[in-house]
């Protein structure tokens, strides 16, 4: 398993796309922190970049990598290696390499300019989103045999979590504005890792007052230690659940 992970990591870290991704994050991160006059503005700007770029790249790159590695996977399947070991090795190799790219691109600058609680939280959120959307990509690649269809599903998944989901929530808020559904919003936020990450960090920046009564409800939950722990556990579940489902499918799938 270690040899497979090492081979995959070496292959990915030499990939020009990964190198370009790392460079792009580094330039964007340095520019944001260097140009913003306050640390809170830098954190907010970095959060917006991470919530859009990291999930999109993690989804598409991971999906394409699985499809392009089909011959390598078939070669591994011909060896006396358990299928779950192969699948876990692929995921660990890919996710560790992408997490390293994120850390070298953004993590270092976050620690240089914002080496405090908010900086570490932003760094952790970026890593969890990288792992979570890579896990979703693994499931997507298994559910769709056709490469074009799989990439299309990945792009739609990103659009849903990043844009469409918020539109649905706003529609529900307007339609049921006469009802006390603010507490329901807390539960609904757990169904979207991007929204969950956004709310989790915003509640630490004292901007909940700008969100009215809903912000106060979020602050009472996400601003507490228990709420933060539950939020992190939910983000971890977004990593474990899709990967476990894909692992079970891969173990039984006729390739």
What confidence score (pLDDT) does residue 1 get? 75
**What is the rounded radius of gyration, in angstroms, for the C-alpha atoms of the chain?**
19
What confidence score (pLDDT) does residue 99 get? 93
What confidence score (pLDDT) does residue 217 get? 58
What confidence score (pLDDT) does residue 92 get? 93
What confidence score (pLDDT) does residue 8 get? 86
At residue 213 the predicted structure's pLDDT band, cuts being 50, 70 and 90, is very low
Kindly tell me if the per-residue pLDDT of 236 is higher than 90: yes
Kindly tell me if the per-residue pLDDT of 212 is higher than 50: no
pLDDT tens digits, 71-117: 888 888 888 888 888 899 999 999 999 999 999 999 998 888 888 88
Q: What is the mean pLDDT of the chain?
A: 85
At residue 237 the predicted structure's pLDDT band, cuts being 50, 70 and 90, is very high
Kindly tell me if the per-residue pLDDT of 210 is higher than 70: no
Kindly tell me if the per-residue pLDDT of 207 is higher than 60: no
Question: Where in the chain are the domains?
Answer: 2-252
pLDDT tens digits, 25-52: 999 888 888 887 676 777 888 888 888 8
The whole-model pTM stands at 0.90
Kindly tell me if the per-residue pLDDT of 238 is higher than 90: yes
What confidence score (pLDDT) does residue 226 get? 81
In angstroms, the CA 247 to CA 101 distance is: 25
pLDDT tens digits, 139-149: 999 988 888 89
Q: Are 242 and 136 in contact (CB under 8 A)?
A: yes
In angstroms, the CA 132 to CA 233 distance is: 12
Q: Please give the average per-residue pLDDT across 58-65, as a whole number.
A: 93
Measured CA distances, 102 to 21, 55, 163, 210 (Å) = 8, 11, 23, 31
Measured CA distances, 86 to 3, 30, 117, 122, 250 (Å) = 11, 38, 37, 31, 10
Sign for the CA dihedral angle at 85, 86, 89, 91 comes to: negative
């Amino acid at each position: 398993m270690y040899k497979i992970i090492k081979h995959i990591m070496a292959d990915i870290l030499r990939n020009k796309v990964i190198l370009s991704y790392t460079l792009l994050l580094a330039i964007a991160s340095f520019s944001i922190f260097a140009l913003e006059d306050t640390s809170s503005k830098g954190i907010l700007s970095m959060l917006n970049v991470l919530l859009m770029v990291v999930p999109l790249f993690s989804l598409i790159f991971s999906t394409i990598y699985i499809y392009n590695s089909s011959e390598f996977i078939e070669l591994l399947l011909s060896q006396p290696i358990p299928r779950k070991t192969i699948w876990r090795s692929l995921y660990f190799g890919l996710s560790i390499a992408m997490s390293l790219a994120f850390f070298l691109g953004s993590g270092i600058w976050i620690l240089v300019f914002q080496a405090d609680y908010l900086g570490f939280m932003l760094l952790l959120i970026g890593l969890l989103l990288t792992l979570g959307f890579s896990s979703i990509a693994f499931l997507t690649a298994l559910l769709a045999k056709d490469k074009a269809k799989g990439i299309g599903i990945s792009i739609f998944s990103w659009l849903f979590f990043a844009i469409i989901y918020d539109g649905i929530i706003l529609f529900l808020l307007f339609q049921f504005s006469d009802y006390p559904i603010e507490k329901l919003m807390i539960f609904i936020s757990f169904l979207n890792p991007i929204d969950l990450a956004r709310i989790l960090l915003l509640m630490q920046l004292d901007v909940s007052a700008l969100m009215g009564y809903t912000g106060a409800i979020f602050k009472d939950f996400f601003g507490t230690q228990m709420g933060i722990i539950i939020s992190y556990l939910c983000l971890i579940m977004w990593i474990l659940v899709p990967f476990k489902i894909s692992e079970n499918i891969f173990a039984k799938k006729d390739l």
